[in-house]
Structure 1
Protein backbone atom coordinates (compact mmCIF):
# COMPACT_ATOMS: atom_id res chain seq x y z
CA UNK A 1 0.00 0.00 0.00
CA UNK A 2 1.38 3.39 -1.00
CA UNK A 3 1.52 6.30 1.50
CA UNK A 4 0.35 9.70 0.41
CA UNK A 5 2.99 12.42 0.50
CA UNK A 6 1.22 14.11 3.44
CA UNK A 7 1.17 10.92 5.58
CA UNK A 8 4.82 10.24 4.83
CA UNK A 9 5.69 13.80 5.86
CA UNK A 10 3.81 13.44 9.16
CA UNK A 11 5.54 10.14 9.96
CA UNK A 12 8.94 11.57 9.13
CA UNK A 13 8.44 14.63 11.35
CA UNK A 14 7.08 12.47 14.20
CA UNK A 15 10.13 10.24 14.00
CA UNK A 16 12.48 13.20 14.16
CA UNK A 17 10.64 14.66 17.17
CA UNK A 18 10.63 11.33 18.96
CA UNK A 19 14.37 10.97 18.46
CA UNK A 20 14.91 14.51 19.74
CA UNK A 21 12.64 14.26 22.78
CA UNK A 22 13.40 10.70 23.85
CA UNK A 23 17.05 9.80 23.19
CA UNK A 24 18.23 6.32 24.15
CA UNK A 25 18.58 5.77 27.91
CA UNK A 26 22.29 5.03 27.64
CA UNK A 27 22.92 8.57 26.41
CA UNK A 28 22.38 9.78 29.99
CA UNK A 29 25.07 7.55 31.51
CA UNK A 30 28.06 9.84 30.82
CA UNK A 31 26.22 12.76 32.45
CA UNK A 32 25.68 10.77 35.65
CA UNK A 33 29.31 9.64 35.72
CA UNK A 34 30.44 13.23 35.30
CA UNK A 35 28.92 14.26 38.65
CA UNK A 36 31.98 13.07 40.60
CA UNK A 37 35.40 14.46 39.68
CA UNK A 38 38.34 12.22 40.63
CA UNK A 39 41.33 13.84 42.33
CA UNK A 40 44.53 12.28 43.67
CA UNK A 41 46.26 14.21 46.45
CA UNK A 42 49.35 13.65 48.58
CA UNK A 43 50.95 15.04 51.72
CA UNK A 44 54.72 14.70 52.15
CA UNK A 45 57.18 16.08 54.68
CA UNK A 46 60.27 16.24 52.46
CA UNK A 47 62.84 16.90 55.22
CA UNK A 48 64.35 19.86 53.32
CA UNK A 49 65.23 17.57 50.42
CA UNK A 50 67.12 14.97 52.46
CA UNK A 51 66.34 11.28 52.70
CA UNK A 52 66.26 8.91 55.64
CA UNK A 53 70.07 8.77 55.23
CA UNK A 54 70.16 12.58 55.79
CA UNK A 55 71.67 13.08 52.32
CA UNK A 56 70.21 15.89 50.20
CA UNK A 57 69.02 14.35 46.92
CA UNK A 58 66.39 16.23 44.95
CA UNK A 59 66.50 13.66 42.12
CA UNK A 60 65.41 10.99 44.61
CA UNK A 61 62.56 13.13 45.91
CA UNK A 62 61.45 14.04 42.40
CA UNK A 63 61.24 10.33 41.57
CA UNK A 64 59.23 9.63 44.74
CA UNK A 65 56.79 12.46 43.97
CA UNK A 66 56.45 11.48 40.31
CA UNK A 67 55.61 7.90 41.29
CA UNK A 68 52.60 9.15 43.29
CA UNK A 69 50.84 10.44 40.14
CA UNK A 70 49.17 13.06 42.32
CA UNK A 71 47.21 16.05 41.01
CA UNK A 72 47.81 18.12 44.15
CA UNK A 73 50.65 17.72 46.68
CA UNK A 74 51.16 19.39 50.04
CA UNK A 75 54.82 19.62 51.07
CA UNK A 76 56.19 20.34 54.52
CA UNK A 77 59.75 21.28 55.63
CA UNK A 78 60.53 23.04 52.37
CA UNK A 79 63.71 25.10 51.92
CA UNK A 80 63.94 28.08 49.59
CA UNK A 81 67.54 29.36 49.55
CA UNK A 82 67.60 28.46 53.25
CA UNK A 83 70.98 26.84 53.98
CA UNK A 84 73.83 24.67 52.79
CA UNK A 85 71.86 21.57 53.82
CA UNK A 86 69.75 22.05 50.64
CA UNK A 87 72.57 23.65 48.62
CA UNK A 88 70.86 27.07 48.94
CA UNK A 89 68.39 25.96 46.26
CA UNK A 90 64.73 26.85 45.72
CA UNK A 91 63.44 23.37 46.53
CA UNK A 92 59.76 24.25 46.04
CA UNK A 93 60.33 25.92 42.68
CA UNK A 94 62.65 23.23 41.37
CA UNK A 95 60.32 20.36 42.23
CA UNK A 96 57.37 22.19 40.64
CA UNK A 97 59.33 22.82 37.45
CA UNK A 98 60.55 19.23 37.21
CA UNK A 99 57.03 17.86 37.71
CA UNK A 100 55.36 20.43 35.44
CA UNK A 101 53.14 21.71 38.25
CA UNK A 102 52.07 25.11 39.58
CA UNK A 103 53.47 26.05 42.99
CA UNK A 104 52.61 28.20 45.99
CA UNK A 105 55.23 28.47 48.72
CA UNK A 106 54.12 29.70 52.16
CA UNK A 107 57.16 30.56 54.29
CA UNK A 108 57.11 30.08 58.04
CA UNK A 109 60.45 31.85 58.38
CA UNK A 110 61.90 34.56 56.13
CA UNK A 111 65.34 35.68 57.26
CA UNK A 112 67.46 37.86 54.94
CA UNK A 113 66.28 36.14 51.75
CA UNK A 114 66.38 32.69 53.34
CA UNK A 115 63.00 30.97 53.64
CA UNK A 116 61.59 27.78 55.12
CA UNK A 117 57.97 26.66 55.11
CA UNK A 118 55.28 24.64 53.36
CA UNK A 119 54.16 24.45 49.73
CA UNK A 120 51.37 23.28 47.44
CA UNK A 121 52.12 21.78 44.04
CA UNK A 122 49.14 21.56 41.68
CA UNK A 123 48.46 20.36 38.14
CA UNK A 124 45.58 22.83 38.18
CA UNK A 125 46.14 26.55 37.93
CA UNK A 126 46.25 28.30 41.30
CA UNK A 127 43.56 30.98 41.20
CA UNK A 128 44.31 32.51 44.60
CA UNK A 129 46.74 31.85 47.43
CA UNK A 130 47.02 33.02 51.06
CA UNK A 131 49.68 32.47 53.71
CA UNK A 132 47.71 32.47 56.98
CA UNK A 133 49.16 33.03 60.44
CA UNK A 134 48.70 30.60 63.32
CA UNK A 135 50.37 30.39 66.73
CA UNK A 136 53.96 29.13 66.67
CA UNK A 137 56.97 28.73 68.92
CA UNK A 138 59.80 29.96 66.70
CA UNK A 139 62.80 27.68 66.23
CA UNK A 140 64.81 30.77 65.30
CA UNK A 141 64.47 32.37 68.74
CA UNK A 142 66.51 30.97 71.67
CA UNK A 143 63.72 31.96 74.08
CA UNK A 144 60.53 31.62 72.06
CA UNK A 145 57.07 32.53 73.24
CA UNK A 146 53.82 31.55 71.47
CA UNK A 147 53.05 34.17 68.83
CA UNK A 148 51.23 34.43 65.48
CA UNK A 149 53.45 33.47 62.55
CA UNK A 150 52.81 32.57 58.89
CA UNK A 151 53.12 29.18 57.26
CA UNK A 152 49.53 27.91 56.98
CA UNK A 153 49.07 27.89 53.23
CA UNK A 154 45.78 27.98 51.32
CA UNK A 155 45.20 27.77 47.56
CA UNK A 156 42.02 28.08 45.56
CA UNK A 157 41.68 25.74 42.59
CA UNK A 158 39.04 24.84 40.05
CA UNK A 159 39.19 21.13 39.29
CA UNK A 160 37.31 20.44 36.06
CA UNK A 161 34.86 23.16 36.98
CA UNK A 162 34.57 22.26 40.68
CA UNK A 163 35.79 24.91 43.17
CA UNK A 164 38.22 23.53 45.76
CA UNK A 165 40.34 25.01 48.54
CA UNK A 166 43.47 23.13 49.60
CA UNK A 167 45.29 23.90 52.86
CA UNK A 168 48.74 22.71 53.94
CA UNK A 169 50.13 22.93 57.46
CA UNK A 170 52.93 21.80 59.75
CA UNK A 171 51.94 21.73 63.43
CA UNK A 172 54.26 22.09 66.40
CA UNK A 173 56.52 19.12 67.13
CA UNK A 174 56.98 19.46 70.90
CA UNK A 175 55.74 16.85 73.36
CA UNK A 176 53.71 19.52 75.17
CA UNK A 177 50.51 19.76 73.09
CA UNK A 178 49.54 23.29 74.17
CA UNK A 179 50.77 25.01 71.01
CA UNK A 180 49.05 22.39 68.84
CA UNK A 181 45.82 23.04 70.76
CA UNK A 182 46.00 26.71 69.73
CA UNK A 183 46.97 25.80 66.17
CA UNK A 184 44.02 23.45 65.79
CA UNK A 185 41.60 26.09 67.08
CA UNK A 186 42.99 28.65 64.64
CA UNK A 187 42.95 26.15 61.77
CA UNK A 188 39.26 25.51 62.40
CA UNK A 189 38.53 29.23 62.57
CA UNK A 190 40.34 29.97 59.29
CA UNK A 191 38.88 27.01 57.42
CA UNK A 192 35.44 27.72 58.90
CA UNK A 193 35.19 30.93 56.86
CA UNK A 194 35.32 28.83 53.69
CA UNK A 195 32.05 27.34 52.41
CA UNK A 196 33.70 25.42 49.55
CA UNK A 197 34.94 21.86 49.42
CA UNK A 198 38.14 21.69 51.47
CA UNK A 199 41.17 19.45 51.84
CA UNK A 200 43.73 19.78 54.64
CA UNK A 201 47.18 18.27 54.08
CA UNK A 202 50.06 18.23 56.51
CA UNK A 203 52.35 16.92 59.18
CA UNK A 204 50.36 17.30 62.41
CA UNK A 205 53.08 15.89 64.70
CA UNK A 206 50.40 13.96 66.59
CA UNK A 207 48.66 10.63 66.14
CA UNK A 208 44.98 10.45 65.04
CA UNK A 209 43.78 9.72 68.59
CA UNK A 210 45.61 12.71 70.12
CA UNK A 211 43.16 14.83 72.17
CA UNK A 212 44.41 18.08 70.65
CA UNK A 213 43.41 16.88 67.16
CA UNK A 214 39.91 15.78 68.18
CA UNK A 215 38.23 19.14 67.35
CA UNK A 216 39.39 18.85 63.73
CA UNK A 217 37.26 15.76 63.24
CA UNK A 218 34.04 17.72 63.90
CA UNK A 219 34.24 19.25 60.42
CA UNK A 220 36.80 17.08 58.64
CA UNK A 221 37.21 13.37 57.95
CA UNK A 222 40.62 11.84 58.50
CA UNK A 223 41.56 9.75 55.47
CA UNK A 224 43.08 6.69 57.13
CA UNK A 225 45.48 4.82 54.81
CA UNK A 226 45.79 1.93 57.24
CA UNK A 227 49.56 2.38 57.49
CA UNK A 228 52.13 4.36 59.47
CA UNK A 229 54.26 7.23 58.17
CA UNK A 230 57.06 8.04 60.62
CA UNK A 231 59.93 7.39 60.62
CA UNK A 232 60.25 6.30 57.00
CA UNK A 233 62.42 3.34 58.01
CA UNK A 234 60.27 1.03 60.14
CA UNK A 235 57.53 3.56 60.95
CA UNK A 236 55.91 3.40 64.38
CA UNK A 237 53.23 6.10 64.14
CA UNK A 238 51.10 8.10 61.69
CA UNK A 239 51.55 11.85 62.02
CA UNK A 240 50.94 12.79 58.35
CA UNK A 241 47.44 13.51 57.10
CA UNK A 242 44.93 14.02 54.35
CA UNK A 243 41.63 15.32 55.79
CA UNK A 244 38.55 16.26 53.78
CA UNK A 245 35.34 18.21 54.25
CA UNK A 246 31.80 17.40 53.18
CA UNK A 247 31.49 17.28 49.43
CA UNK A 248 34.75 15.34 49.08
CA UNK A 249 34.47 11.56 48.85
CA UNK A 250 37.21 9.07 49.67
CA UNK A 251 37.94 6.24 47.26
CA UNK A 252 41.11 4.94 48.87
CA UNK A 253 44.49 5.81 50.36
CA UNK A 254 47.98 4.38 50.68
CA UNK A 255 51.41 5.06 52.17
CA UNK A 256 54.18 4.47 49.61
CA UNK A 257 57.28 2.72 50.94
CA UNK A 258 60.08 5.22 50.22
CA UNK A 259 63.15 6.49 52.05
CA UNK A 260 63.42 9.71 50.02
CA UNK A 261 62.60 11.61 53.26
CA UNK A 262 62.50 10.77 56.95
CA UNK A 263 58.69 10.59 56.58
CA UNK A 264 56.63 8.43 54.27
CA UNK A 265 54.01 10.24 52.18
CA UNK A 266 50.28 9.64 52.32
CA UNK A 267 48.43 9.48 48.99
CA UNK A 268 44.63 9.58 48.71
CA UNK A 269 42.21 9.05 45.85
CA UNK A 270 39.26 11.39 46.31
CA UNK A 271 36.15 12.44 44.43
CA UNK A 272 34.68 15.91 44.31
CA UNK A 273 30.90 16.17 44.32
CA UNK A 274 29.57 18.72 41.85
Structure 2
Protein backbone atom coordinates (compact mmCIF):
# COMPACT_ATOMS: atom_id res chain seq x y z
CA UNK A 1 0.00 0.00 0.00
CA UNK A 2 2.78 2.41 0.92
CA UNK A 3 4.52 1.63 -2.38
CA UNK A 4 1.29 2.51 -4.25
CA UNK A 5 0.93 5.79 -2.36
CA UNK A 6 4.57 6.71 -3.07
CA UNK A 7 4.11 5.93 -6.77
CA UNK A 8 0.94 8.00 -6.95
CA UNK A 9 2.63 10.87 -5.15
CA UNK A 10 5.56 10.81 -7.58
CA UNK A 11 3.17 10.83 -10.54
CA UNK A 12 1.30 13.80 -9.12
CA UNK A 13 4.53 15.66 -8.46
CA UNK A 14 5.69 14.96 -12.00
CA UNK A 15 2.40 16.20 -13.47
CA UNK A 16 2.53 19.35 -11.38
CA UNK A 17 6.12 19.93 -12.49
CA UNK A 18 5.25 19.50 -16.16
CA UNK A 19 2.30 21.88 -15.79
CA UNK A 20 4.43 24.48 -14.01
CA UNK A 21 7.13 24.21 -16.67
CA UNK A 22 4.57 24.62 -19.46
CA UNK A 23 3.11 27.72 -17.83
CA UNK A 24 6.57 29.19 -17.23
CA UNK A 25 7.63 28.58 -20.83
CA UNK A 26 4.39 29.94 -22.30
CA UNK A 27 3.30 26.53 -23.60
CA UNK A 28 -0.52 26.37 -23.74
CA UNK A 29 -2.15 24.08 -21.17
CA UNK A 30 -5.70 22.82 -21.23
CA UNK A 31 -7.10 25.59 -19.01
CA UNK A 32 -4.84 28.43 -20.17
CA UNK A 33 -5.16 31.20 -22.73
CA UNK A 34 -3.58 30.15 -26.03
CA UNK A 35 -1.14 32.68 -27.49
CA UNK A 36 -0.41 32.64 -31.21
CA UNK A 37 1.78 34.82 -33.41
CA UNK A 38 0.24 35.38 -36.84
CA UNK A 39 2.14 36.70 -39.86
CA UNK A 40 0.69 37.75 -43.23
CA UNK A 41 2.78 38.56 -46.30
CA UNK A 42 2.10 39.21 -49.98
CA UNK A 43 5.27 37.89 -51.65
CA UNK A 44 4.87 39.47 -55.12
CA UNK A 45 5.70 36.07 -56.63
CA UNK A 46 9.31 36.36 -55.49
CA UNK A 47 10.23 39.06 -57.98
CA UNK A 48 12.11 41.20 -55.45
CA UNK A 49 13.76 38.61 -53.18
CA UNK A 50 14.97 35.04 -53.15
CA UNK A 51 13.09 32.29 -51.36
CA UNK A 52 16.09 32.02 -49.03
CA UNK A 53 15.67 35.69 -48.04
CA UNK A 54 11.91 35.34 -47.58
CA UNK A 55 12.35 32.19 -45.50
CA UNK A 56 15.03 33.84 -43.36
CA UNK A 57 12.67 36.71 -42.56
CA UNK A 58 9.81 34.36 -41.66
CA UNK A 59 12.06 32.17 -39.52
CA UNK A 60 13.48 35.18 -37.69
CA UNK A 61 9.96 36.35 -36.79
CA UNK A 62 9.15 32.87 -35.48
CA UNK A 63 5.38 32.95 -36.17
CA UNK A 64 3.02 30.13 -35.25
CA UNK A 65 1.07 30.47 -38.47
CA UNK A 66 1.52 32.42 -41.70
CA UNK A 67 -0.83 33.58 -44.47
CA UNK A 68 0.92 34.09 -47.81
CA UNK A 69 -0.38 35.66 -51.02
CA UNK A 70 0.95 35.86 -54.59
CA UNK A 71 2.55 32.47 -54.15
CA UNK A 72 3.84 30.74 -57.28
CA UNK A 73 4.21 27.04 -57.89
CA UNK A 74 6.42 25.84 -60.76
CA UNK A 75 5.89 28.97 -62.87
CA UNK A 76 8.23 30.45 -65.48
CA UNK A 77 7.63 34.20 -65.25
CA UNK A 78 9.75 36.50 -67.39
CA UNK A 79 9.81 38.98 -64.47
CA UNK A 80 11.13 36.46 -61.93
CA UNK A 81 13.68 34.22 -63.68
CA UNK A 82 15.38 33.31 -60.39
CA UNK A 83 12.15 31.58 -59.28
CA UNK A 84 11.58 29.46 -62.37
CA UNK A 85 10.16 26.03 -61.59
CA UNK A 86 10.09 26.56 -57.83
CA UNK A 87 7.31 25.43 -55.50
CA UNK A 88 7.23 28.38 -53.11
CA UNK A 89 5.07 26.85 -50.37
CA UNK A 90 7.09 23.65 -50.15
CA UNK A 91 10.47 25.41 -50.24
CA UNK A 92 9.49 28.03 -47.67
CA UNK A 93 8.11 25.32 -45.41
CA UNK A 94 11.34 23.33 -45.71
CA UNK A 95 13.50 26.36 -44.97
CA UNK A 96 11.40 27.47 -41.98
CA UNK A 97 10.57 24.04 -40.55
CA UNK A 98 6.84 24.68 -40.92
CA UNK A 99 3.95 22.69 -42.42
CA UNK A 100 2.63 23.97 -45.78
CA UNK A 101 -0.72 24.13 -47.53
CA UNK A 102 -1.21 25.60 -51.01
CA UNK A 103 -4.29 26.82 -52.86
CA UNK A 104 -4.15 27.49 -56.59
CA UNK A 105 -6.23 30.43 -57.79
CA UNK A 106 -5.24 30.42 -61.48
CA UNK A 107 -2.91 28.51 -63.80
CA UNK A 108 -0.10 30.84 -64.83
CA UNK A 109 3.17 30.79 -66.81
CA UNK A 110 3.41 27.02 -66.97
CA UNK A 111 2.50 26.53 -63.31
CA UNK A 112 0.14 27.96 -60.71
CA UNK A 113 -0.45 31.23 -58.87
CA UNK A 114 -2.25 31.36 -55.55
CA UNK A 115 -2.19 31.53 -51.77
CA UNK A 116 -0.57 29.49 -49.03
CA UNK A 117 -0.45 28.76 -45.31
CA UNK A 118 2.56 27.81 -43.19
CA UNK A 119 1.95 26.41 -39.71
CA UNK A 120 3.97 25.16 -36.75
CA UNK A 121 1.03 22.96 -35.85
CA UNK A 122 -0.73 20.08 -37.62
CA UNK A 123 -3.37 20.90 -40.21
CA UNK A 124 -6.36 18.65 -39.59
CA UNK A 125 -8.31 19.78 -42.65
CA UNK A 126 -7.53 22.07 -45.60
CA UNK A 127 -9.84 23.37 -48.32
CA UNK A 128 -9.52 25.90 -51.13
CA UNK A 129 -12.76 27.81 -51.79
CA UNK A 130 -13.14 30.06 -54.81
CA UNK A 131 -14.50 33.57 -54.24
CA UNK A 132 -17.02 35.12 -56.65
CA UNK A 133 -15.76 36.50 -59.93
CA UNK A 134 -18.08 38.94 -61.69
CA UNK A 135 -17.78 41.29 -64.66
CA UNK A 136 -15.97 43.70 -62.32
CA UNK A 137 -13.19 41.23 -61.53
CA UNK A 138 -9.79 40.78 -63.12
CA UNK A 139 -9.01 37.17 -62.18
CA UNK A 140 -10.20 34.30 -60.03
CA UNK A 141 -9.51 34.68 -56.29
CA UNK A 142 -9.91 32.24 -53.40
CA UNK A 143 -9.63 31.66 -49.67
CA UNK A 144 -7.49 28.83 -48.30
CA UNK A 145 -8.97 27.49 -45.06
CA UNK A 146 -7.26 25.16 -42.57
CA UNK A 147 -8.32 23.69 -39.23
CA UNK A 148 -5.18 23.95 -37.10
CA UNK A 149 -4.66 21.73 -34.05
CA UNK A 150 -2.82 24.32 -31.95
CA UNK A 151 -2.72 21.94 -28.97
CA UNK A 152 -3.85 18.38 -28.44
CA UNK A 153 -7.51 18.03 -29.37
CA UNK A 154 -8.11 21.79 -29.73
CA UNK A 155 -8.46 23.74 -32.95
CA UNK A 156 -8.73 27.10 -34.60
CA UNK A 157 -9.67 27.80 -38.21
CA UNK A 158 -7.08 29.84 -40.10
CA UNK A 159 -7.64 31.37 -43.53
CA UNK A 160 -5.40 33.10 -46.08
CA UNK A 161 -6.98 35.21 -48.81
CA UNK A 162 -6.24 37.74 -51.56
CA UNK A 163 -9.12 39.84 -52.87
CA UNK A 164 -9.44 41.37 -56.31
CA UNK A 165 -7.74 44.75 -56.81
CA UNK A 166 -9.89 46.14 -59.60
CA UNK A 167 -13.23 47.22 -58.08
CA UNK A 168 -14.89 47.72 -54.70
CA UNK A 169 -18.09 45.99 -55.88
CA UNK A 170 -16.07 42.87 -56.65
CA UNK A 171 -14.45 42.91 -53.21
CA UNK A 172 -17.79 43.44 -51.49
CA UNK A 173 -19.23 40.23 -52.95
CA UNK A 174 -15.98 38.43 -52.15
CA UNK A 175 -16.15 39.59 -48.50
CA UNK A 176 -19.78 38.45 -48.36
CA UNK A 177 -18.60 35.00 -49.50
CA UNK A 178 -15.77 35.05 -46.94
CA UNK A 179 -18.26 35.71 -44.17
CA UNK A 180 -20.52 32.94 -45.41
CA UNK A 181 -17.58 30.51 -45.45
CA UNK A 182 -15.98 31.46 -42.13
CA UNK A 183 -18.48 32.86 -39.63
CA UNK A 184 -20.30 29.58 -38.98
CA UNK A 185 -17.23 27.46 -38.30
CA UNK A 186 -17.21 25.38 -35.09
CA UNK A 187 -13.83 26.82 -34.06
CA UNK A 188 -12.54 30.36 -33.46
CA UNK A 189 -11.33 31.88 -36.72
CA UNK A 190 -8.43 34.02 -37.95
CA UNK A 191 -8.38 35.35 -41.52
CA UNK A 192 -5.40 37.26 -42.89
CA UNK A 193 -4.28 38.54 -46.22
CA UNK A 194 -4.24 41.19 -48.91
CA UNK A 195 -7.75 42.67 -49.09
CA UNK A 196 -6.78 45.35 -51.64
CA UNK A 197 -8.98 47.86 -49.80
CA UNK A 198 -8.31 50.66 -47.35
CA UNK A 199 -9.87 50.69 -43.86
CA UNK A 200 -12.55 53.22 -44.90
CA UNK A 201 -13.72 51.08 -47.84
CA UNK A 202 -17.20 49.54 -47.56
CA UNK A 203 -15.84 46.01 -47.86
CA UNK A 204 -13.72 46.59 -44.74
CA UNK A 205 -15.73 49.04 -42.65
CA UNK A 206 -19.04 47.25 -43.17
CA UNK A 207 -18.12 43.90 -44.65
CA UNK A 208 -15.68 42.95 -41.87
CA UNK A 209 -17.64 44.62 -39.03
CA UNK A 210 -18.27 41.29 -37.27
CA UNK A 211 -14.53 40.69 -36.94
CA UNK A 212 -11.93 42.02 -34.51
CA UNK A 213 -9.13 43.83 -36.36
CA UNK A 214 -5.85 42.78 -34.75
CA UNK A 215 -3.31 44.18 -37.23
CA UNK A 216 -2.07 47.71 -36.54
CA UNK A 217 -3.47 49.39 -39.72
CA UNK A 218 -0.20 51.11 -40.61
CA UNK A 219 0.30 51.56 -44.38
CA UNK A 220 1.59 48.43 -46.12
CA UNK A 221 2.02 49.48 -49.77
CA UNK A 222 4.19 50.32 -51.55
CA UNK A 223 6.93 48.87 -49.38
CA UNK A 224 9.49 51.52 -50.34
CA UNK A 225 7.22 54.42 -49.27
CA UNK A 226 4.03 53.03 -47.68
CA UNK A 227 0.90 55.13 -48.23
CA UNK A 228 -2.06 52.72 -48.11
CA UNK A 229 -3.22 50.00 -45.73
CA UNK A 230 -4.58 46.98 -47.63
CA UNK A 231 -3.22 44.02 -45.61
CA UNK A 232 -5.09 42.85 -42.50
CA UNK A 233 -5.44 40.23 -39.78
CA UNK A 234 -8.97 39.67 -38.40
CA UNK A 235 -10.28 37.38 -35.63
CA UNK A 236 -13.74 35.98 -34.83
CA UNK A 237 -15.64 35.95 -32.55
CA UNK A 238 -14.52 39.27 -31.09
CA UNK A 239 -15.04 38.31 -27.45
CA UNK A 240 -12.78 35.24 -27.67
CA UNK A 241 -9.70 37.13 -28.87
CA UNK A 242 -7.33 39.62 -27.29
CA UNK A 243 -4.49 41.26 -29.17
CA UNK A 244 -1.00 41.91 -27.85
CA UNK A 245 1.76 43.34 -30.02
CA UNK A 246 0.91 44.09 -33.65
CA UNK A 247 3.59 45.14 -36.12
CA UNK A 248 4.00 46.32 -39.69
CA UNK A 249 7.52 45.20 -40.56
CA UNK A 250 9.77 47.57 -42.52
CA UNK A 251 11.40 45.01 -44.76
CA UNK A 252 11.51 45.42 -48.54
CA UNK A 253 11.46 41.87 -49.87
CA UNK A 254 8.20 42.51 -51.75
CA UNK A 255 6.06 45.45 -52.83
CA UNK A 256 4.01 44.89 -49.63
CA UNK A 257 5.18 45.16 -46.05
CA UNK A 258 4.50 42.05 -43.97
CA UNK A 259 2.25 42.37 -40.92
CA UNK A 260 2.05 40.36 -37.71
CA UNK A 261 0.02 40.22 -34.51
CA UNK A 262 0.26 38.25 -31.30
CA UNK A 263 -3.26 37.15 -30.40
CA UNK A 264 -4.63 35.37 -27.37
CA UNK A 265 -7.54 32.96 -27.55
CA UNK A 266 -9.40 33.01 -24.25
CA UNK A 267 -10.66 29.70 -22.83
CA UNK A 268 -14.27 28.82 -23.50
CA UNK A 269 -16.62 26.87 -21.27
CA UNK A 270 -17.46 24.82 -24.36
CA UNK A 271 -14.57 23.63 -26.49
CA UNK A 272 -15.85 21.69 -29.50
CA UNK A 273 -13.71 18.73 -30.39
CA UNK A 274 -12.68 17.77 -33.89
CA UNK A 275 -15.32 15.79 -35.74
CA UNK A 276 -14.29 12.29 -36.71
TM-score, normalised by the number of residues in structure 2: 0.79
**For the structure 1 residues 255 and 148, does the alpha-carbon distance in structure 2 shift closer, same or farther, using more than 3 Å as the test?**
closer
**2:171 alignment partner in structure 1:** 180
Question: Shift of the alpha carbon at 1:105?
Answer: 0.2
Question: Shift of the alpha carbon at 1:196?
Answer: 1.2
Q: Secondary structure of the residue that 1:127 maps to in structure 2?
A: strand
Tell whether the 8 Å contact from 1:38 to 1:272 is kept in structure 2 after alignment: yes
**2:272 alignment partner in structure 1:** none
**2:92 alignment partner in structure 1:** 95
* Pick aligned residue for 2:250 from 236, 252, 257: 257
* Pick aligned residue for 1:131 from 118, 128, 138: 128
Q: Does 1:215 align with 2:203?
A: no
* Pick aligned residue for 2:183 from 192, 198, 202: 192
* Pick aligned residue for 1:206 from 188, 197, 213: 197
Distance of 1:69 and 1:210 partners within structure 2: 32
**1:10 alignment partner in structure 2:** none
Tell whether the 8 Å contact from 1:169 to 1:202 is kept in structure 2 after alignment: yes
Q: Does 1:169 align with 2:161?
A: yes
TM-score, normalised by the number of residues in structure 1: 0.79
**2:46 alignment partner in structure 1:** 49
Question: Shift of the alpha carbon at 1:217?
Answer: 3.0
Question: Shift of the alpha carbon at 1:149?
Answer: 4.7
Distance of 1:226 and 1:112 partners within structure 2: 34
**For the structure 1 residues 238 and 146, does the alpha-carbon distance in structure 2 shift closer, same or farther, using more than 3 Å as the test?**
closer
Distance of 1:169 and 1:67 partners within structure 2: 23
**For the structure 1 residues 63 and 230, does the alpha-carbon distance in structure 2 shift closer, same or farther, using more than 3 Å as the test?**
same
Question: Shift of the alpha carbon at 1:147?
Answer: 10
Question: Shift of the alpha carbon at 1:271?
Answer: 0.9
Q: Secondary structure of the residue that 1:187 maps to in structure 2?
A: helix
Gaps of 5+ in 1: 1-15, 17-22, 138-143
**2:263 alignment partner in structure 1:** 270
Distance of 2:181 and 2:30 partners within structure 1: 33
Higher Cα radius of gyration: 1
Q: Secondary structure of the residue that 1:241 maps to in structure 2?
A: strand
Question: Shift of the alpha carbon at 1:36?
Answer: 0.4
Gaps of 5+ in 2: 1-8, 10-15, 268-276
